[in-house]
Amino acid sequence: MNFTYPKNERLKSKNTIGLLFSKGKSVSKYPLRLVYTANEENADEKIKIGVSVSKKYFKKAVDRNYFKRVLRETYRLNKHILLDNVKENYSIMFFYQTKDRLSYAEINTKTIQLFEKFLEAVNKPKDSESKIEL
């Protein structure tokens, strides 16, 4: 498995980021949140991901940058969970949403749980209502 985070996997397009905030769906696992949308544009990569840490919770850029590095690292080490189980192309924004300073191990565990929750949301059948046949 290739444990890299190359430039072509990074979410940089302002249009795509705007689309995520307007029409994206969300999955949460405290303190992490993942906003995603299916994307036909990025045919070169299955997943494009961006990372964000709120200035509301961490006033100093040093602290925000630390948690962004941790989020990128946990994605890099666990992206195989997503790539092996996703059928479409997705744009994803990954948020750290608390003022609590969790350790790397805790964030890594929560990231794995969040990715599994994301896969459940994405791979569930569209026709999820159970139909009763008489």
CA-CA distance, 87 to 97, in Å (whole number)? 28
Q: What is the pLDDT of residue 42?
A: 53
**Residues with Cβ < 8 Å from 94, sequence gap 6 or more?**
32, 33, 34, 49, 50, 51, 52, 71, 75
Does residue 129 form part of some domain?
A: no
Does residue 89 form part of some domain?
A: yes
Does residue 52 form part of some domain?
A: yes
Does residue 134 form part of some domain?
A: no
**Which one, of 24, 47, 44, lies nearest residue 34 by Cα?**
24
Does residue 94 form part of some domain?
A: yes
- Count of other CB atoms within 10 angstroms of residue 71: 21
Residue 133 has pLDDT above 90, yes or no: no
Both tokens of 106, joined, read 């805790």
Which pLDDT tens digit goes with each residue over 47-91?
Answer: 999 999 999 999 999 999 999 999 999 999 999 999 999 888 999
Residue 41 has pLDDT above 50, yes or no: yes
**Coil, helix or strand at residue 81:** helix
CA-CA distance, 28 to 113, in Å (whole number)? 9
Q: What is the pLDDT of residue 127?
A: 57
Does residue 92 form part of some domain?
A: yes
Summarize the confidence of residues 31-38 as an average pLDDT: 93
Residue 130 has pLDDT above 50, yes or no: no
Summarize the confidence of residues 26-36 as an average pLDDT: 94
Mean pLDDT for the chain?
A: 89
Does residue 125 form part of some domain?
A: no
Per the structure, the count of domains in the chain is: 1
Percent of the chain with pLDDT over 70: 91
Quick one: CA torsion of 59, 61, 66, 70, rounded to 10 degrees? Answer: 80
Report field, pTM of the whole predicted structure over 0.75 = yes
**Structural domain for 101, as ranges:** 7-119
CATH of the domain at 98: 3.30.230.10
Does residue 133 form part of some domain?
A: no
